[in-house]
Structure formats: C-alpha cells, structure tokens
C-alpha cells in the first residue's frame, strides 16, 4: 500500500519543494494516478471494486469530486503539521499529545471516536494503492482517512468511525498519537478507513455502524464502536467503547506526571516568573499574564502567587482545561485566573473577548525534545502579533540550541544498512545494500533518546559543543525557514555521521536562571543531572557521512522550519555554496519508511545474524523449500546463501515488497527468491509453484508489533498456511516463551507516580484524573518501553511464564499460568518486565529482553533493538506511601488464543493487590 499523509498543505508543499501551481499539479497527478490503479483490491467484500471503462468507480468519483476542496481547506488552516514515518516515536507523540495542543500552531488533533472529525481541515490522506492495515502501518503508520462531499451539510454531533489502538501508533509514552477536533460530514457520507481484514478500504454508512447512537439522547452518554486492528491475529475487531474512551487513553499515556515531577523545571520556571512579575511591577504596571498551554494551571498559579494581577490560562484540551479550573479553584485562585478552553490562535481581545487587553507577561511551555516540534515558533509568532504587548516579558526569555558532531558506528547503524557477512560452504558471502539506500538521506524525523545512556565509548567527538541558534521569546518570533551556520575546526579526523543536539532555556534576560537538557558529559555538574523523559536529547543523521580532517575548518549548518530541525555539513562558506538550501531531506529509498531506527540496528547486528546462520545450518537441507514470514527480513537471503533449493518470502505490504525487491536486485537474487505480496491466509498452491514447504521460518518480526508478544502473529500465520506445509516440515523458530522479572527502576517509575503537591500547589485533582484514565481497560495493559534507556535493578530472578509451540497450530483454548516470583534483593518493586525469547532450535535462543544473567547487584542488560513490556505496580509507585518489602509477587498470566491478547494480574501479598 502506498499512502501519503499531507499535514497542512502549505507546509507539505514547502517541504517537498512544491511552489505555486506546481503544488496543485503534483497533487492532482498523484491522485489521478492513484485512482487509475488497476491493481487496487476490493473496497469491501460486499461492495466489489470493479471500475468500468466507461465511467469512474465510486472511489475515483469521490476523490475527483473532493480533492481540491479538501486541499483548499487544508491550505486555509494557519497551523502546520508533521510528516511522519514509523520512527516518529516519542518525539511525534510529544508533539501531538494533549498537553501540547495549546494553540493551533502547537499541534493538530485528529480524533476518530468523537465529534465528527472524519477529515480535519489540516489533513488529507491520499490512498494510492490499497493493501491491508499491516501494510499501511508499516509504511507511514496511517490510521484512517475519510472523504466528505463538498455539499454535505454540517452535522452537530455523533461519533466518527474508527481509530487504531496504541499498538498501531495510537499512543503510549514512546509512540506518537494523532488526534484532531474539527471537521464535519454528512451522516450518510462515505467513510474510508484502514482495517486489518482482507481489505483496506471499506465503504460503510454511519447508521449501519452505530446502532446505539440514540443512547446519547436517553442517557446523556454515548457508546461508539471502535475498529481495532489486532497486531497478533491480523484481524479487525469492533469494540464498544465509551465516547470519552480516547480522552482517557490520551491522558493515561501523557507525560503530565513526568513534567510535574521535574523539580528542576518547576523551580526554574517559578524563579523566572517571580523575576518577570517583579520587573513589570518595578515599572509601575499591572502584571497581566498570558499562559499558553496551561495544563494543570501550575504556571498560572505560580504567577499569581508571585504577585501578578490577573492571569489568562489557555488550554485547548477540554478534559485538561476542566481539570485546570478545578485545580485553580481548589488552590483559591479562581478570582485571579481565567481558564480559556481554546487554541491560542482563537483567543480574542476586547470588551467582549476572552481578554480585555493584551498581556505584558507571556508564559509558555510549548517545547519538546527538538525545542520547536510542538509548534512553539508559530504559537509565539501569533501571540506577539495579537495577544501580548510590545516588549513584553517572556518566561522563558530565551532558548539556545546546541550541537556536537560525532562519528559513531553504533548510531550510524540506526540509519544505514551495513554489509552483512554470511559464512557458507562456498566461502564468505556479503549481502550489500542497494545504491538507492546508500544515497538516501534517511528518515525526515529526529531520533530522540536518553543520550545519557549511550556510552562515550560508542562515539568519537569531532567538534566542541557548538551553540547553533537562539530564540528570544520576548520579541517578535518568526516561524519562517532559516539556516544557522557555525564555523569550526574538527577536534579529530574521522567520518562525520551524526549530530547530537540539545537545548537550554534561560528564564531571565541576564541568563542567571537556566534549565538545560545537556547530557552528562556536557554538564558542569554531572552529579546534579535532572532526569526527565518529556525532554530528552536529539540524534540527527547527516544525509551522508563526510570525512573531516583535524584542524581543517568546515561549516555545520542547522536548518529549521516552523516545526523541525535538520543539519548539513559544508566545506565552504554557506554564502558561496549553492548546496545550502532550506529543503528538508526526505527518504526516497523507502527503507526508512519500513524500518525504524532500532530495526536498522537489529538488522546490522552481525552477532545476531551469525546466530540465525548457525541455526539455519542445522535445519536446512539441499532440497529445502523455504517460506519466510517476517516483514522486511533478510532471512530469505541467508537461507538461499546457505543452500536452500527454493526460497519464498511473504511481503504483504507494497512498502516491504519494494524495499526487498531492491535489496534482492542489488545482490543479484531477484530471480532466485520469490516475493509473494499477499496476506498469508490467502496463499494458494500456485504462489508456491505447487510445492510443499519443508522449512517455515521467521525471525519473527512484524512492523505492526509494539508489545513483545505481538510477534506471535508468526504463529497465526503458521496455522493459516498449515495446508502448504509438507510432511515433517520444520518450523524455525520452533517455539517461543514469555519471561518476566520484577524490577526497581531508577527513574522510569516517575512517569506513573502521583505528584500530590507541586511547588506548594495541590494537584491531587490531576493525579485523580490520571488514575481514572488508567482504570480504563486498555490502560491496564503492559506498556512498551526501550529499557536500555531506563536503568533498573532486578529484584527477582528471570522466570519463564508461558511457552508457545510453533510446531503445533494455535490452540483453541486459552493458555493460563499462575505462580509466584521470589524476590531475592531488597528494593521497591515498581513493576514487572516481560519479554519474549525465541527458540530457533533446541540449542539456540534469541532473547528480546535480558541479554545476560543479572549481576549481583541486579543491574540489567537489555536488548537495545527491542522494546520490553512493563507492567507497573500501582501500589508501589507513590513514594509517600511505605510499601514494605514484599518477599514474593503473585501473578496470573493468560494467553487468549482467539484474540492473541495476553492479560495479566499481579499481587504483592505483603502490600496490596496491584
């Protein structure tokens, strides 16, 4: 499936270099090409997609009728957006989560389970070629699209059709989630959404889908059916949810608690606000404060406590705005703080407006790891033009972005495909990357990580820490594209590959009150390092690695538009170099749209490859007919090089098909390995040339998987293709097992810990709101986290919980395990970590979790290429509550074969039930 998501037409056009009429011409050509695609599958099993030569089909008519109207609507919206790839994990989520949607410029909200937001004015999804839900999420994590006829009347309420759960990019601390309010459609309009069934686009009527919509009239609440693409079984599920279900999920996965626990941030903001109010008062003026993106109202309460005469607190996310009203009232500030539930760009000034006059103090916290990714620049730009006085005080006053050029094979392996070495009976074979991939500048998104967990031995510093650019928030801010150059002499010779970046904010004009995101090696006092997860550090990959020579000066150029930053390296003055241009590099090889940064690292892990090669040697025979089932995997090439007679690989998304075809061609294997582009359950004998499979293999890896057990989709595929397996067929891996360990986190527990009081203000209402959100069904599940970034100690020994025998079909009955885990080390039991281990052969096992036995102190070493599942014990997360030292943890874990879900429950008998 080829699916392009265009967020805000103007910005998308600028990014791709489309200007003037050429923008429309390119879009029109793209749409016309898509609707003429003769290979498009059915819209629905009940509505065949059979375009007649004489007239356009329904989908074509719909697109042809609406695309200009819809793109015009996108162009009319002043806000921007983000073009994303599967790498848009924590950063994109932070850009789009509720807290950051303080203004239209700070985030776009795309919601499928409330209001009438089928197609927001700022988004259009042009579906070029239909595939399946797994293919869609692999390519651009697209969740849905809808089209409304231009003449459709406005509808005042009712739910829209569908949303994808967090397993498909729908949320989670490290996964972006997009949601949007706004946009209307006719009750009978065509709704197109991506499903995980055998079709991609389905044509349905709202009245058909929402049989209980009248509930709203009778009870005041409404239930909606949400389409959930199941990553484990590959099927689509329809579940009845409360109309505010997505609100609860958004709150549960947000970083509110993390920010409230950031003592350094809170203290510095308080100091800066006191200083700003004092400066205004010293001028004999009233202190009128505008707080954009108020969240809990914390900064507004700080301002009033510091002496501000009145504060206008803007918050667009209604549940958060309602909570802010209650928190303000509970703390006794209702007479001096007005909460405005709007985008900041919609706030009005005047006697009948939201504010009677312009403010003279501007307080915001619209920053993400990249500084500007939450729309800080356009939000400030609008505020200075319309909402605050000239020469106002701003808190923070200034921000500065820093960069450091490094050479790092480890980090470069997150961006490029390295040659893979395979030892065969004929000698060493090398799998080389295609030239398109080598030339590709990479994914157009930053990789934000906890840089403090990267060892200094993993990179070579090529430059000093360079201040790249600053933004003065007390003056008019521009969101226009800009370049900032720094001339420097490399500290060492090497290959410039990666730019490490972070920022600091100064809360006062003198720069005495500073909050920095610098990693420990760039801190003057590393021992005072503040842990935070809502702001981390950035890893940028240069378009191509460049050799540098010690002492031979070069230019490092930081480019940015209104939302994003990217870097380039120049050898001559940028004024003389025509190569310096504002266009942001975008992946053109498509591998970066298929593989995430951790997946690149996993494929480049030669030790891991060697383990699979060794296992294949034990199961392959000269007459083996192999069927490989994993997304974008090189296993099929390993099998061929090791002597398999014939190799088939299933790539049931157009993205993976294209990428693998390029790799096969670069290695002269395009006629040696057969690519099957269809869903496994639709496999026919002709696809296998009438042969029976003797070796069914996989890593397994699937791009739609988020939790470790989602890759059990391999088991469901093995069951679906059972009739194509020959007698005595070997399955590799032959089995998998689920393991767990109880841990104490050094810091990660803070993201789920209640705050209570923050800088002297009572925010228990926020804690209660998060707790209620967490009580919703989906929030009670384990969460995916890359634990190599989050140090922890094991309090127990690892324990095997469940075993899955891939040599047998998926059982019809649930598989359940109960037991206890003995805690061998003292500590606070913050939660259980779960992961999968795949048993390739009886003697070879690949772990997605712990890589080696825990040390005496319990320090854990986690697989850096995979996310582990974390189930937090709520009863031990509040540091103000003494939890005691439980000696055992009871557990119940159940695998539901019908849904592919794994549910769990834990009991700390010496404390309370979790």
pLDDT-derived band at 169 (thresholds 50, 70, 90) equals very low
Distances (CA, A) of 575 to 147, 485, 552, 572, 579: 46, 10, 19, 8, 10
pLDDT given at position 780: 65
Over residues 258-276, mean pLDDT: 96
Q: Given a cut of 90, is residue 199 above it in pLDDT? A: no
Q: Given a cut of 90, is residue 120 above it in pLDDT? A: no
d(CA 374, CA 540) in angstroms, rounded, equals: 18
Task: For residue 497, give the nearest of 569, 429, 549 by alpha carbon.
Answer: 569
pLDDT given at position 103: 32
d(CA 161, CA 155) in angstroms, rounded, equals: 14
pLDDT given at position 243: 57
Residue 396 contacts residue 338 (beta carbons within 8 Å)? no
Give the residue numbers marked as catalytic.
365, 374
d(CA 867, CA 137) in angstroms, rounded, equals: 18
pLDDT given at position 465: 98
Residue 889 contacts residue 823 (beta carbons within 8 Å)? yes
Q: How far is CA 38 from the centre of its chain?
A: 33
* pTM, two decimal places: 0.79
Give strand pairing partners of 696: 627, 731
pLDDT given at position 793: 95
Q: Given a cut of 50, is residue 178 above it in pLDDT? A: no
CB-based burial, 447-460: b 16+ in 10 Å, e otherwise: bbbbbbebeeeebb
Top pLDDT among 644 and 145 is at 644
**Cβ partners under 8 Å of residue 254, min gap 6:** 97, 98, 99, 770
CB-based burial, 391-430: b 16+ in 10 Å, e otherwise: ebbbbbbbbbbbbbbbbbeebbbbbbbbebebeeeeeebe
Residue 457, classed as helix, strand or coil, is: helix
Top pLDDT among 762 and 6 is at 762
Structure-token match 């269809």, residue found = 678
Over residues 522-536, mean pLDDT: 91
Top pLDDT among 47 and 413 is at 413
Annotate 754-779 with DSSP letters as a single string.
---EETTEE-HHHHHHHHHHHTSGGG
Over residues 484-493, mean pLDDT: 97
Q: Given a cut of 80, is residue 859 above it in pLDDT? A: yes
Task: For residue 280, give the nearest of 301, 305, 309, 302 by alpha carbon.
Answer: 309
Give strand pairing partners of 180: 110
Q: What is the mean pLDDT of the chain?
A: 78
Q: Given a cut of 80, is residue 838 above it in pLDDT? A: yes
pLDDT given at position 779: 46
Q: How far is CA 553 from the centre of its chain?
A: 37
d(CA 739, CA 34) in angstroms, rounded, equals: 46
pLDDT given at position 153: 28
pLDDT given at position 188: 27
Per-residue DSSP letter, 233? T
pLDDT given at position 443: 86
User: Quick one: what percent of the chain has pLDDT higher than 90?
Assistant: 62
Q: Given a cut of 90, is residue 423 above it in pLDDT? A: yes
Residue 703, classed as helix, strand or coil, is: coil
**Cβ partners under 8 Å of residue 770, min gap 6:** 251, 252, 254, 256, 257, 754
pLDDT given at position 528: 84
pLDDT-derived band at 914 (thresholds 50, 70, 90) equals low
User: Strands 427-431 and 359-364, how do they pair?
Assistant: unpaired
Q: Give the pLDDT confidence of 725-746 residue by residue, as tens digits.
A: 999 999 999 999 999 999 999 9
Task: Identify the architecture of domain 735-907 in CATH.
Answer: Distorted Sandwich (2.70)
Q: What is the 3-state secondary structure (H, E, C) of 368-407?
A: CCCCCCCCHHHHHHHHHHHCEEEEEEEECCEEEEEEEEEE
**Cβ partners under 8 Å of residue 505, min gap 6:** 268, 367, 396, 398, 399, 514, 515
pLDDT-derived band at 222 (thresholds 50, 70, 90) equals low
Top pLDDT among 148 and 526 is at 526
Top-level CATH class of 399-586?
mainly beta
d(CA 228, CA 246) in angstroms, rounded, equals: 13
Residue 580 contacts residue 557 (beta carbons within 8 Å)? yes
pLDDT given at position 629: 97
**Please, what is the Cα angle at 286 between 280 and 288, to 5 degrees?**
90
Q: Given a cut of 50, is residue 572 above it in pLDDT? A: yes
d(CA 347, CA 360) in angstroms, rounded, equals: 16
Structure-token match 């919703």, residue found = 776
pLDDT-derived band at 714 (thresholds 50, 70, 90) equals very high
CB-based burial, 494-520: b 16+ in 10 Å, e otherwise: bbbbbbbbbbbbbbbeeeebebbbbbe
Of the listed ranges 173-187, 488-502, 802-816, the one predicted with least confidence: 173-187
Residue 911 contacts residue 886 (beta carbons within 8 Å)? yes
Task: Identify the architecture of domain 605-732 in CATH.
Answer: 3-Layer(aba) Sandwich (3.40)
Phi-psi sector, 759: left (phi>0), alpha (psi -120 to 50), beta: left
d(CA 205, CA 191) in angstroms, rounded, equals: 7
At residue 852, what are phi and psi to the nearest 5 degrees? -155, 160
Q: Give the pLDDT confidence of 286-295 residue by residue, as tens digits.
A: 999 999 999 9
Q: Given a cut of 90, is residue 28 above it in pLDDT? A: no
Over residues 93-111, mean pLDDT: 31
Residue 30 contacts residue 5 (beta carbons within 8 Å)? no
Q: Give the pLDDT confidence of 755-805 residue by residue, as tens digits.
A: 999 999 999 999 988 888 777 654 467 999 999 999 999 999 999 999 999
- Pick 257-397's CATH classification: 3.40.50.150, 3.40.390.30, 1.10.10.10, 3.40.50.300: 3.40.50.150
**Structure token pair of residue 627:** 């069927």
At residue 483, what are phi and psi to the nearest 5 degrees? -125, 140
d(CA 279, CA 308) in angstroms, rounded, equals: 11
**Structure token pair of residue 522:** 């760039």
Can you list the alpha helix ranges (DSSP code H) found in 532-580?
none
Of the listed ranges 91-95, 147-151, 225-229, 522-526, the one predicted with least confidence: 147-151
pLDDT given at position 574: 72
**Structure token pair of residue 852:** 């080696």
Top pLDDT among 874 and 870 is at 870
d(CA 792, CA 801) in angstroms, rounded, equals: 21
d(CA 17, CA 129) in angstroms, rounded, equals: 24
* HSE-up (13 A, CA, CB side) for residue 258: 19
Where does the chain hold its CATH 2.70.160.11 domain(s)? 399-586, 735-907
Q: Given a cut of 60, is residue 671 above it in pLDDT? A: yes
Over residues 835-847, mean pLDDT: 98
Q: Given a cut of 50, is residue 546 above it in pLDDT? A: yes
At residue 713, what are phi and psi to the nearest 5 degrees? -55, -30
Q: Give the pLDDT confidence of 29-63 residue by residue, as tens digits.
A: 444 443 333 333 332 332 233 333 333 333 333 33
Of the listed ranges 235-244, 389-398, 700-709, the one predicted with least confidence: 235-244
Where does the chain hold its CATH 3.40.50.150 domain(s)? 257-397, 605-732
Over residues 443-454, mean pLDDT: 93
pLDDT given at position 876: 77
d(CA 487, CA 489) in angstroms, rounded, equals: 7
pLDDT-derived band at 216 (thresholds 50, 70, 90) equals very low
Of the listed ranges 80-94, 209-223, 371-385, 593-607, the one predicted with least confidence: 80-94
Q: Given a cut of 70, is residue 219 above it in pLDDT? A: no
Over residues 93-107, mean pLDDT: 32
pLDDT given at position 770: 85
Over residues 805-824, mean pLDDT: 96
Which segment, 43-52, 130-139, 560-569, is predicted with the most confidence on average? 560-569
d(CA 866, CA 472) in angstroms, rounded, equals: 40
Could you tell me the strand order of the sheet in which 725-732 lies?
673-676, 646-650, 625-629, 693-697, 725-732
pLDDT-derived band at 235 (thresholds 50, 70, 90) equals confident
**Cβ partners under 8 Å of residue 573, min gap 6:** 555
Could you tell me the sign of the dihedral formed by the alpha carbons of 708, 713, 719, 725, in that order? negative
Q: Give the pLDDT confidence of 335-387 residue by residue, as tens digits.
A: 999 999 999 999 999 999 999 999 999 999 999 999 999 899 999 999 999 99
Residue 766 contacts residue 858 (beta carbons within 8 Å)? no
Residue 339 contacts residue 326 (beta carbons within 8 Å)? no
d(CA 161, CA 185) in angstroms, rounded, equals: 11
pLDDT-derived band at 194 (thresholds 50, 70, 90) equals very low
Q: What is the 3-state secondary structure (H, E, C) of 268-311?
A: HHHHHHHHHHHHHHHCCCCCEEEEECCCCCHHHHHHHHCCCCEE
pLDDT-derived band at 516 (thresholds 50, 70, 90) equals very high
pLDDT-derived band at 185 (thresholds 50, 70, 90) equals very low
Q: Given a cut of 60, is residue 69 above it in pLDDT? A: no
Over residues 747-751, mean pLDDT: 93
pLDDT given at position 444: 77
User: Quick one: what percent of the chain has pLDDT higher than 70?
Assistant: 70
Give strand pairing partners of 569: 556
């Amino acid at each position: 499936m080829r699916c392009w998501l265009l967020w805000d037409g103007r910005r998308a056009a600028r990014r791709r270099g489309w200007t003037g009429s050429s923008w429309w011409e390119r879009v029109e050509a793209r749409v016309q090409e898509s609707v003429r695609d003769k290979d498009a599958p059915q819209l629905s099993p009940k509505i065949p997609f059979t375009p007649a030569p004489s007239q356009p089909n329904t989908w074509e008519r719909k697109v042809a009728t609406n695309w200009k109207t819809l793109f015009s609507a996108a162009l009319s919206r002043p806000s921007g957006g983000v073009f994303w790839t599967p790498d848009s994990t924590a950063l994109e989520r932070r850009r789009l989560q509720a807290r950051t949607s303080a203004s239209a410029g700070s985030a776009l909200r795309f919601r499928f389970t409330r209001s009438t937001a089928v197609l927001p004015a700022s988004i259009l999804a042009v579906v070029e070629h239909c595939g399946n839900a797994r293919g869609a999420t692999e390519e651009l994590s697209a969740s849905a699209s809808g089209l409304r006829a231009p003449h459709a009347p406005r509808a005042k309420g009712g739910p829209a059709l569908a949303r994808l759960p967090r397993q498909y990019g729908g949320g989670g601390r490290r996964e972006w989630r997009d949601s949007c309010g706004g946009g209307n459609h006719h009750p009978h309009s065509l709704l197109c959404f991506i499903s995980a069934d055998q079709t991609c686009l389905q044509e349905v009527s709202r009245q058909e889908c929402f049989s209980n919509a009248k509930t709203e009239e009778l009870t005041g609440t409404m239930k909606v059916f949400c389409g959930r693409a199941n990553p484990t079984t590959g099927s689509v599920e329809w579940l009845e949810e409360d109309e505010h279900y997505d609100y609860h999920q958004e709150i549960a996965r947000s970083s509110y608690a993390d920010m409230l626990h950031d003592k350094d941030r809170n203290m510095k903001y308080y100091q800066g606000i006191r200083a700003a109010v004092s400066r205004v008062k010293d001028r004999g003026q009233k202190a009128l404060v505008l707080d954009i993106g108020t969240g809990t109202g914390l900064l507004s309460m700080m301002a009033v406590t510091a002496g501000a005469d009145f504060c206008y607190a803007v918050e667009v996310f209604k549940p958060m705005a309602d909570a802010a009203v209650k928190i303000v009232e509970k703390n006794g500030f209702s007479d001096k703080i007005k909460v405005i539930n709007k985008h900041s760009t919609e706030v009005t000034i005047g006697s009948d407006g939201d504010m009677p006059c312009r403010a003279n103090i501007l307080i915001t916290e619209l920053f993400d790891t990249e500084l500007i990714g939450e729309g800080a620049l356009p939000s400030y730009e609008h505020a200075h033009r319309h909402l605050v006085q000239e020469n106002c005080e701003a808190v923070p006053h200034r921000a500065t972005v820093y960069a450091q050029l490094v050479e790092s094979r480890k980090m470069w392996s997150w961006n490029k495909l390295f040659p893979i070495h395979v030892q065969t009976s004929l000698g060493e074979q090398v799998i080389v990357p295609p030239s398109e991939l080598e030339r590709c500048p990479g994914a157009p998104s930053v990789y934000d990580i906890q840089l403090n967990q990267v060892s200094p031995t993993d990179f070579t510093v090529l430059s000093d820490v360079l201040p790249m650019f600053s933004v003065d928030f007390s003056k008019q801010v521009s969101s226009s594209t800009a370049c900032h150059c720094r001339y420097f002499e490399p500290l060492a010779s090497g290959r410039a590959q990666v730019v490490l970046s972070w920022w600091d904010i100064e809360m006062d004009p003198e720069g005495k009150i500073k909050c920095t995101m610098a990693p420990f090696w760039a801190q003057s006092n590393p021992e005072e390092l503040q842990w935070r997860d809502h702001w981390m550090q950035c890893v940028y990959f240069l378009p191509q690695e460049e050799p540098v020579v010690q002492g031979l000066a070069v230019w490092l150029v930081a480019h940015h538009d209104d939302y994003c930053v990217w870097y380039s390296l120049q050898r001559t003055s940028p004024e003389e170099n025509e190569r310096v241009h504002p266009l942001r590099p975008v992946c053109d090889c498509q591998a970066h749209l298929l593989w995430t940064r951790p997946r690149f690292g996993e494929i480049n892990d030669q030790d891991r490859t060697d383990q699979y090669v060794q296992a294949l040697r034990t199961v392959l025979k000269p007459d083996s007919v192999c069927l490989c089932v994993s997304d974008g995997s090189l296993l099929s090439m390993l099998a061929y090089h090791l002597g398999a007679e014939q190799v088939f690989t299933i790539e049931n998304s157009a993205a993976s098909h294209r990428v693998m075809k390029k790799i096969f061609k670069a290695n002269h294997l395009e006629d040696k390995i057969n690519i099957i582009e269809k869903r496994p359950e639709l496999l026919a004998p002709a696809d296998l040339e009438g042969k029976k499979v003797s070796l069914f293999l996989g890593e397994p890896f699937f791009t739609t998987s988020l939790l470790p057990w989602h890759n059990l989709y391999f088991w469901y595929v093995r069951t679906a293709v059972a009739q194509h397996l020959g007698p005595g067929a070997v399955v590799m891996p032959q089995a998998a097992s689920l393991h767990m360990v109880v841990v104490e986190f050094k810091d990660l527990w803070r993201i789920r810990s209640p705050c209570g009081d923050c800088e002297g203000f009572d925010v228990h209402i926020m804690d209660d709101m998060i707790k209620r959100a967490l009580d919703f069904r989906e929030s009670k599940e384990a969460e995916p986290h890359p634990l190599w970034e989050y140090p922890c100690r094991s309090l127990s020994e690892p324990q095997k919980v469940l075993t899955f025998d891939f040599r047998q079909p998926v059982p019809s009955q649930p598989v359940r395990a109960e037991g206890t885990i003995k805690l061998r080390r003292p500590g606070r039991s913050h939660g259980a970590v779960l992961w999968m281990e795949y048993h390739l052969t009886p003697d070879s096992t690949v772990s997605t979790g712990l890589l080696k036995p825990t040390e005496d102190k319990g320090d854990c070493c986690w697989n850096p290429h995979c996310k582990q599942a974390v189930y937090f014990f709520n009863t031990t997360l509040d540091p103000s509550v003494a939890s005691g030292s439980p000696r055992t943890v009871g557990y119940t874990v159940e695998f539901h074969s019908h849904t592919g879900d794994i549910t769990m429950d834990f009991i700390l008998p010496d404390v309370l039930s979790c």
